[in-house]
């Protein structure tokens, strides 16, 4: 979302700048409308990139494959609008990995690999939930303090915190009130990573 300057401008000001954005009175209303649009795209038969995807009942939330297609469209948009700044470019693909029943060390290893491949405009995603179901979707971005550190944005609370990697690996940490990691989603289009290899083995 924040990689599209016209979209950011509309969210903040309401000025569509020639784009087909709806006329809504407040930033909250505009953000809600945008989130609804994204949810429609991520659960539809055709994803935002035009690729077929398995349709999903919207009442069950956002499926990982829909998130992958949405992120691919955002990264490609960044390449078209701003130009390829180093690691970012058209063709980046995202993959999801089921991590619910991985051991703590394997889960931590995947997070370390993921952290190495995230960037300013290439975020990751973490699904968390209870012991039985994934219930919440959060955004992962690299931390600036130390290499390998991950920050997690929780849309339910509207805040960014350092990810408690060890706590989450042992079902002790909490992200948005949830203790169990379910899916990791990360970019694999430009580099071969453990995330991609893990996905291929599943």
> Of 42, 69, 35, which Cα lies nearest the Cα of 57?
42
Question: DSSP code of 60?
Answer: G
Q: Dig out the tokens for 1 from the structure.
A: 């979302």
Sheet containing strand 159-162, edge to edge, reads: 94-98, 180-187, 124-129, 134-142, 150-154, 159-162
Q: Flag whether pLDDT at 165 surpasses 60.
A: yes
Percent of the chain clearing pLDDT 70 (strictly above): 81
Give the pLDDT score at 202.
44
Least confident of 64-68, 148-152, 193-197: 193-197
Spatial distance between the Cα atoms of 98 and 89, rounded to a whole number of angstroms: 26
> Of 88, 110, 90, which Cα lies nearest the Cα of 99?
110
Question: DSSP code of 191?
Answer: S
Q: Flag whether pLDDT at 191 surpasses 60.
A: no
Q: Flag whether pLDDT at 92 surpasses 70.
A: yes
Spatial distance between the Cα atoms of 61 and 117, rounded to a whole number of angstroms: 27
Q: Flag whether pLDDT at 75 surpasses 70.
A: no
Q: Flag whether pLDDT at 139 surpasses 60.
A: yes
Q: Flag whether pLDDT at 76 surpasses 80.
A: no
Give the pLDDT score at 37.
85
> Of 73, 61, 69, which Cα lies nearest the Cα of 45?
69
Residue 110's Cα: distance from chain center in Å? Answer: 16
Question: DSSP code of 119?
Answer: B
What angle in degrees, to the nearest 10, is found between the helix axes of 64-82 and 27-43?
120
Q: Would you list the domain boundaries of the chain?
A: 1-91, 93-202
Q: Flag whether pLDDT at 97 surpasses 90.
A: yes
User: What mean pLDDT do residues 98-125 have?
Assistant: 90
Give the pLDDT score at 80.
45
Q: Flag whether pLDDT at 110 surpasses 90.
A: yes
């Amino acid at each position: 979302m924040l990689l599209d300057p016209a979209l950011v401008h509309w969210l903040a000001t309401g000025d569509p700048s020639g784009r087909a954005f709806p006329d809504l009175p407040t930033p909250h209303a505009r953000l809600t409308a945008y989130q609804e649009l994204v949810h429609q795209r991520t659960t539809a038969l055709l994803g935002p990139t035009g690729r077929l995807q398995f349709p999903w009942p919207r009442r069950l939330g956002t499926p990982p494959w829909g998130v992958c297609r949405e992120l691919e469209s955002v990264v490609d948009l960044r390449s078209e609008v701003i130009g390829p700044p180093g690691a970012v470019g058209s063709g980046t693909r995202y993959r999801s990995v089921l991590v619910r029943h991985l051991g703590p060390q394997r889960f931590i290893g995947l997070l370390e690999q993921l952290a190495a491949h995230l960037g300013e405009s290439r975020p990751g995603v973490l699904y968390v939930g209870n012991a039985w179901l994934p219930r919440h979707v959060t955004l992962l971005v690299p931390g600036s303090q130390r290499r390998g550190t991950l920050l997690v944005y929780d849309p339910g609370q509207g805040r960014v915190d350092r990810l408690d990697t060890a706590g989450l690996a042992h079902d002790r940490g909490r992200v948005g009130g949830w203790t169990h990691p379910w899916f990791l989603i990360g970019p694999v289009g430009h580099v071969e990573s453990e995330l991609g290899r893990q996905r291929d083995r599943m």
